[in-house]
Amino acid sequence: MATVKYVLNEDQMPTAWYNVAADMPSLPPPPLHPGTGQPLGPADLAPLFPMALIMQEVSTERAIEIPEEVQQIYRQWRPTPLYRARRLEQALDTPAKIYYKYEGVSPAGSHKPNTAIAQAYYNKQEGVKRLVTETGAGQWGSSLALAGAMFGLEIEVYMVKVSYNQKPYRRALMEAYGARVVASPSTETAAGRAILAEHPDSTGSLGIAISEAVEMAVQREDTKYALGSVLNHVLLHQTVIGLECLTQMEMAGDYPDVIVGCTGGGSNFSGIAFPFIGAKLRGERDVRVVAVEPAACPSLTKGKLAYDYGDTAHLAPMVRMHTLGSTFVPPGIHAGGLRYHGMAPLVSHLTELGEIQPIATQQLETFAAGLQFARAEGILPAPEANHAVAGAIREALRCKEAGKSEVILFNLCGHGHFDLQAYTDYQAGKLKDYEYSEEEVAMALAGLPSVG
Amino acid sequence: MATVKYVLNEDQMPTAWYNVAADMPSLPPPPLHPGTGQPLGPADLAPLFPMALIMQEVSTERAIEIPEEVQQIYRQWRPTPLYRARRLEQALDTPAKIYYKYEGVSPAGSHKPNTAIAQAYYNKQEGVKRLVTETGAGQWGSSLALAGAMFGLEIEVYMVKVSYNQKPYRRALMEAYGARVVASPSTETAAGRAILAEHPDSTGSLGIAISEAVEMAVQREDTKYALGSVLNHVLLHQTVIGLECLTQMEMAGDYPDVIVGCTGGGSNFSGIAFPFIGAKLRGERDVRVVAVEPAACPSLTKGKLAYDYGDTAHLAPMVRMHTLGSTFVPPGIHAGGLRYHGMAPLVSHLTELGEIQPIATQQLETFAAGLQFARAEGILPAPEANHAVAGAIREALRCKEAGKSEVILFNLCGHGHFDLQAYTDYQAGKLKDYEYSEEEVAMALAGLPSVG
């Protein structure tokens, strides 16, 4: 019983990204200025992003052309393979067919370069010399570092201090690509210094690191900011994943009944799901879409859909999203890429519209799923991706119970070769589950701004 | 300027391995019994290996069919891509064309599963329940652990103690695949206990770990031994690399003037080079072949071609190879996969015949080459593979100086995602070069057995 792989030729690679905004019955409300609370126009975003990305952020065109230079870099690892997980199906003894798209073949080991390469390209085109960003566990930072090397841009990464100290290997990868990595909070920014003055031992958070990166970007003429998830243009770039899947599922002679992805900020999930959701919104094919988030950071399942700040120092725009509050600090689960207090506005809006069904899984379930997957399919998933694996296994077992031969498609967004400490801890019985009480969530949400 | 990728369809994947013994003007002399010094027959090897692998070890058939079950597993990541390194060529400003074959796309991140899968298959076919092996840095051990998971075999790995302690992540990967990993020297074997009695603080060596694995294999009826390099059948399985390259170079409309690979035991090097050496031996196409070894473990460039033991306790067969002596312990360079005192007999014999040109490179040169490669091509190589990169860069610079547009092909045998400590140390200026005096080498060789 072997795994079956569906490989596209390079000439079958998408030449345009898919913009789900074109097919949505309504759009999410606009981002607001963090100081004034007024809707933001393109000019307000210009200090942060190049105009091409700002235009993508507000575009309602269905197809947005992928520049040839971006396609050339994509082709180093794209199109990525789609697999039929026959050995996992056998292990689960399920009548369901399980397919997975594998994004871990990129040089950074995850889906993040899909947008890092595009963002670096547009910045380079507009004469930007330097990009500043934040990173938690390091997947995004190393992808932007890679993109910087490809396009000759300087990259500065504010890395959450606890990860900077605990994950020196991610930092080493960024530095190998030539990036400068700074532990956040740092003394380099006013935001960082303010935090350190109050909490000298602060281990940092994504919210603080975003504040520092934004501050450093707007100060310098030749410098812009880059974000690895949440925003519309970031999700747009990730749709190459789902667009390839559409062709590959056709090769396989199947169409997914259910699509499963893990959600932190929402980018890998949107990448695989949006092209299929679009087909549904256009009335072409039905599909059920499941977003799996960690129970330790349950923005979609326990958060509130409201305007909130994207960062701690309130320098970044406010967006309407499912949020646990910009001061929420989730426990140190190993799926670092899913530890964001908010959610992409497009994902939140589609959830509100009933197009996405969110669920939360506990850490122990996801690691058990990841190990079962690795022993069946050979690939060790990243802890983030284990959430998608766990969701797919739940669906496959539901099919088994119901005697249904449904088609399940999930996104294996990265490999776990950088995350072996997590597996060591799991196998040593050191990991714990987390459950929030209604009171804790209410307390976290109490600080939401009163706008929108 | 983009990297160009040459991808084969699955139906272009080789269906037979290439056996260079069929085309060699003479064969290496046979292995000897470690106790009697007499030539070994197939029956002598039966406690260690299944008969199918023993027959491959002595075969002179040119093509040996790859079983369908092995091809099915190979297809999870094979055929692997061949790249034209246009961005590296540009960075070097060389008229040479540089191609590289990338084996890091396997689930274990290196070429090692090519033989691990085949060995597990043949053992499973012959009713073996358990495979025992040794591992240094862990690339081989994790590949056999993967293969064990694929075929339902128990895997036990004796891991050199210094690596067991310093590289917990490789151990975690083996354990994630379900293998049992034991620090060597251990108290589980007579060989291990003897070492510990004399040196209680021994940090182990590959030679000791091989002794323990062999001892544990021969003791149990349902258990065999597996080796990740050196032996003929191991090199045979790796020839899928070069066979794919033959087709891919044809796609590219080129043929290599020079092939570069790194050599420790010799398996990845042989994998890419043997099919091309075979074409040369048959008088079809000329090619120059360069084997790059670490200056810190210079078996081909400073060792002696002689019969020597493969392990410390002298339980494994003796083979005629370039060796630094079975008691030689190389310094702790980061290219752990190249720290073996000997060399594959086929590689040694072909070197003696003048078909292979060995060179040695210093550690600092290889890491500088690896970083230059990563920033140009995006992929961070394993420290072992950096030796091949360094060799290819030397060739490209020679071409630049001579104004020659030669075609260079090298094997990028694995990614460096498990080796970021090495890059951290390199970038912090902590790594050193090593040079042996003639006296030191003579001393290491003084203990060679007087047979053959």
Does pLDDT of A420 surpass 80? yes
Kind plus residue range of the DSSP H or E element containing B410: strand B407-412
* B432: number of Cβ within 10 Å: 12
The residues, any chain, with a CB within 8 Å of residue B225's CB and separated by 6 or more, are B48, B49, B131, B132, B133, B213, B214, B217, B218
Residue A258 DSSP one-character state: E
Question: Confidence class of residue B137 from pLDDT cuts 50, 70 and 90?
Answer: confident
Q: Do A172 and B420 touch (CB under 8 A)?
A: yes
**Over the stretch A362-417, which tens digit does the pLDDT of each residue have?**
999 999 999 999 999 999 999 999 999 999 999 999 999 999 999 999 999 999 99
Q: For position A441, what pLDDT does the model report? A: 87
**What is the DSSP-derived secondary structure letter of residue A21?**
G
Residue B446 has what pLDDT? 87
pLDDT (0 to 100) of residue B343: 96
pLDDT greater than 90 at residue B122: yes
Torsion angles phi and psi, residue B91, rounded to 5: -60, -35
- pLDDT for res A166: 82
Residues of chain B with pLDDT > 90, as a percent, come to 84
Q: How confident is the model at residue B51 (pLDDT cuts 50, 70, 90)?
A: very high
| Both structure tokens of A356 | 């996405």
Question: Would you state the pLDDT for residue B330?
Answer: 80
How many Å apart are CA A197 and CA A210, to the nearest integer? 18
∠ CA(A110), CA(A113), CA(A118), 5° rounding? 160
The structure tokens listed for B47 are 């406690």
> For the residues B150-176, what does the mean pLDDT come to?
93
- Closest CB to A378: pick one of B76, B83, B427: B76
Q: How high is the pLDDT of residue A1?
A: 60
- Find the helix or strand (DSSP H, E) in which A309 lies: strand A304-309
Taken in order of first residue, the domains within chain A and their CATH numbers are 71-109+233-445 (3.40.50.1100)
Q: If you ran DSSP here, which 8-state letter would residue A32 be given?
A: B
Tell me what pLDDT residue B326 has. 87
> CA A166, CA B75: separation in Å to the nearest integer?
36
Residue B65's φ and ψ, nearest 5 degrees, are -60, 135
Beta-strand (E) ranges in A256-372? 258-262, 288-294, 304-309, 318-323, 357-361
Return the sign of the alpha-carbon dihedral for residues B377, A415, A410, B146. positive
pLDDT tens digits for range A173-211: 999 999 999 999 999 999 999 999 999 999 888 889 999
Q: Rounded to an integer, what distance in angstroms lies between the CA atom of residue B438 and that of residue B440?
A: 6
pLDDT grade for A333, boundaries at 50, 70 and 90: confident
CA gap A212, A215 in Å, rounded = 5
Helices (H), A358-419: 363-377, 383-402
| Four-CA torsion B112, B114, B118, B120, nearest 10 degrees | 30
Which percentage of chain B shows pLDDT scores above 70? 99
pLDDT at B1 over 70: no
- Residues of A in Cβ contact (< 8 Å) with B105: 105
Place of tokens 């091509």: B377
Confidence band, pLDDT 50/70/90 cuts, at residue B125: very high
Kindly report, residue by residue over A228-268, the tens digit of the pLDDT. 999 999 999 999 999 999 999 999 999 999 999 999 999 99
Among the residue ranges A323-337, A360-374, B344-358, B376-390, the one predicted with the least confidence is: A323-337
User: Which of A73, A176, A378 faces B107 most closely, judged by CB atoms?
Assistant: A378
Q: What is the DSSP string of A338-352?
A: G--SS--HHHHHHHH
Does residue B136 have a pLDDT over 90? no
* pLDDT score for B452: 56
**Total residues found in chain A within this entry:** 452
Place of tokens 């090619």: B287
Confidence of residue B261 (pLDDT cuts 50, 70, 90): very high
Answer yes or no: is pLDDT of B418 > 70: yes
Mean pLDDT check: name the lowest of A158-172, A217-231, A260-274, B275-289: A158-172
Alpha-carbon distance A28 to A47, whole Å? 23
How many CB atoms sit inside 10 A of residue A61's CB?
13
Determine the Cα–Cα distance for residues B93 and A187; give it in Å rounded to an integer. Answer: 41
Measured in angstroms, the CA of B325 and the nearest CA of chain A are apart by 35
* Stretch A130-140: mean pLDDT: 94
Which of B69, B146, B378 has the CB atom closest to A107's CB atom?
Answer: B378
Alpha helices in B239-266 (DSSP H): 240-252
Burial per residue of B137-149, b for 16 or more beta-carbon CB atoms within 10 angstroms, e otherwise: bbbbbbbbbbbbb
Does the beta-carbon distance from B420 to A107 stay under 8 Å? Answer: no
Q: What is the pLDDT of residue A412?
A: 98
Is a pLDDT exceeding 60 seen at residue A452? no
Tokens matching residue B35: 């106790």
Give residue ranges of A with CB < 8 Å to any B CB. Answer: 2-3, 5, 7, 9-10, 69, 72-73, 75-76, 83, 105, 107, 109, 146, 149-150, 168-173, 175-178, 371, 374-380, 415-418, 420-421, 423-424, 427
Nearest to B149 among A83, A107, A375 (CB): A375
**Cβ–Cβ below 8 Å for A3 and B172:** no
Percentage of the residues of chain A whose pLDDT score is greater than 90: 84
Q: Taking the mean position of all CA atoms in its chain, how far away is CA A198?
A: 31
pLDDT over 70 (residue B225): yes
Report how far residue A31's alpha carbon sits from residue A47's, in angstroms, rounded to the nearest whole number: 15
Q: How confident is the model at residue B143 (pLDDT cuts 50, 70, 90)?
A: very high
Q: At what angle do helices A420-427 and B168-176 cross, to 10 degrees?
A: 60
Q: Which residues of B309-326 are buried (b: 16+ CB within 10 A; e: fewer)?
A: bbbbbbbbbbbbbbbbbb
Tokens for B234? Answer: 């191991």
| Encoded tokens for B137 | 């840095």
Residue B98 has pLDDT above 90, yes or no: yes
Mean pLDDT, to the nearest integer, of A19-44? Answer: 94
Chain B interface residues facing chain A, Cβ-Cβ under 8 Å?
2-3, 5, 7, 9-10, 69, 72-73, 75-76, 83, 87, 105, 107, 109, 146, 149-150, 168-173, 175-178, 371, 374-380, 416-418, 420-421, 423-424, 427
Summary mean pLDDT of chain B: 94
Backbone dihedral region of B220: left (phi > 0), alpha (psi from -120 to 50 degrees) or beta? beta
Tokens of B96: 């040479």
Residue B206's pLDDT band (boundaries 50, 70, 90)?
confident
Q: Of the ranges A164-168, A309-313, B152-156, which is most confident?
A: B152-156
Q: Residue A95 pLDDT > 80, yes or no?
A: yes
When computed from its CA atoms, the radius of gyration of chain A, rounded to whole angstroms, is 20
- Whether the pLDDT of residue B18 is over 70: the answer is yes
- Cβ distance of A169 and B424 shorter than 8 Å: yes
pLDDT, tens digit, for every residue of A10-27? 889 999 999 999 999 999
CA A89 from chain center: how many Å?
27
Please state the length of chain B.
452
